[in-house]
Amino acid sequence: MGLVEKFTEWFGEKNQKIIDLNLKKERKLISKELTELEYERNKIRDYVNRLDALIDVEEKFISEQEKGGD
């Protein structure tokens, strides 16, 4: 299974779990889910920041290459 499918499945399961816990009025368990979601969100935010840094370096590299080629 690819990463996109894995995330889609994970997201769907989380969503369903939260709906079920809410129906059962499980406040503490939903709070725990919230903490886990925030942890995942922080990891993705960090990942995006690292991708941004890579893009900056690559773009700078390519533009320097192009200037050198002129």
Partner 1 sequence: MWTQLEEKLIKWESNISKKNNSLSEEEKQYIKKELPLIKAEKKQMEHRLRKLNEIIAKTKILVDDLTEDECRELSKGHSLAEVGEVLKEEFGNKLEEGQTQGRHTMINFLRSRYNIDKKNARELFNLLEDAGVVYYKVDIPKNALSEPIIYEPLEADVDIPETMYALYGDWIINS
Chain residues that interact with partner 1, rule: CB under 8 A: 3-4, 6-7, 10-11, 14-15, 18, 22, 25, 27, 30-31, 33-34, 37-38, 40-41, 43-45, 47-48, 50-52, 54-55, 57-59, 61-62, 65
> To the nearest whole angstrom, how small is the minimum distance from the Cβ of residue 33 to partner 1?
6
> To the nearest whole angstrom, how small is the minimum distance from the Cβ of residue 67 to partner 1?
14
Helix (H, G, I), strand (E, B) or coil at 41: helix
User: What is the C-alpha to C-alpha distance for residues 51 and 39, in angstroms, rounded to an integer?
Assistant: 19
> To the nearest whole angstrom, how small is the minimum distance from the Cβ of residue 4 to partner 1?
7
Q: Which two tokens stand for residue 56?
A: 């900056």
Residue 25 backbone class (left: φ over 0; alpha: ψ -120 to 50; beta: rest): left
